[in-house]
Amino acid sequence: MTNTQSIAIEDTVRDIGTRPAPAEPLVLQMWRTPVYQADCAGAAEHLPNLRELILAAEETDRRAAAAGAGNAIKSSQTMLAWDHPSIDWLKRQIHAAGEALAHAALGETAGEIGDHDTHAEAWAVVCRPGDALRPHTRHDSAWSGVLSVVAEPSGDSDAGYLQLLDPRPAALPRTASPGPVRCSPVPGRMIAFPGWQARWMRATAADSRLRIAIAWNITYAEHRSRVS
């Protein structure tokens, strides 16, 4: 290390040490995670249609894949291309969630994001008794979400709950973490969050018959990719 470098470091240390303390102690809330929740208007009209469309497609979708344990099935990610008024309704709900989250992250500048900057995709996840989804993230998307379509009753009050996991890995083995946030699978309820937010779905109970959810992602053009 040269003498010049040594003097510069000493000056920096001296400056920090002599800098006056702030008038008020500060405790900052940093890296907060926005989560959107809405009970979608019009759900009572459109959810039965979505249920029929999804179950019919399950029989013919050759690109469907196992999504977790048991017989949980994830459809191909083409739902938004289906031609039906209830799909148009679904698109509007996804748009509203993405717009609200973008405004939470960017404020007024979110209005600069145009439709040509945005791409959305959606797929159905059909779970039967005992099925669950593995913990996962979507780092390639700005926002992700889940719309509950069908959540038939069960004796297990936690069955089918969406669980949002603490995004701070070092906090998980400590009492510093409050643990997962549980989101009830209420039909018509939309939950949305940044794509990097880890989540999973608790297994449906043995006495429940069916759970259907629609999952989705929003991505932005490359110059908008840091929104979330």
8 A C-beta contact, residue 204 and residue 211? yes
Q: Which two tokens stand for residue 172?
A: 């998980």
- Residue 128 is predicted with a pLDDT of 76
Give the contacts of 34 (CB within 8 A, at least 6 positions apart): 101, 104, 105, 193, 194
- Residue 21 is predicted with a pLDDT of 65
State which residues of the chain have pLDDT below 70: 1-22, 65-73, 132, 153-159, 203-208, 222-228
Q: Within 10 A of 226 (CB to CB), how many other CB atoms are there?
A: 10
Distance (Å, rounded) from C-alpha 20 to C-alpha 12? Answer: 14
Q: Within 10 A of 211 (CB to CB), how many other CB atoms are there?
A: 26
- Residue 205 is predicted with a pLDDT of 62
Give the residue among 149, 136, 134, 125 at the shortest CA–CA distance from 72.
Answer: 125
Q: Residue 194 pairs with which residues in a beta bridge?
A: 143
Distance (Å, rounded) from C-alpha 112 to C-alpha 98? Answer: 14
- Residue 203 is predicted with a pLDDT of 67
Q: Which two tokens stand for residue 101?
A: 């989250």
- Residue 71 is predicted with a pLDDT of 57
- Residue 208 is predicted with a pLDDT of 62
- Residue 136 is predicted with a pLDDT of 77
Q: Within 10 A of 99 (CB to CB), how many other CB atoms are there?
A: 17
φ, ψ for residue 112 (rounded to 5)?
A: -80, -15
pTM over 0.85: no
Give the residue among 147, 133, 129, 160 at the shortest CA–CA distance from 213.
Answer: 147
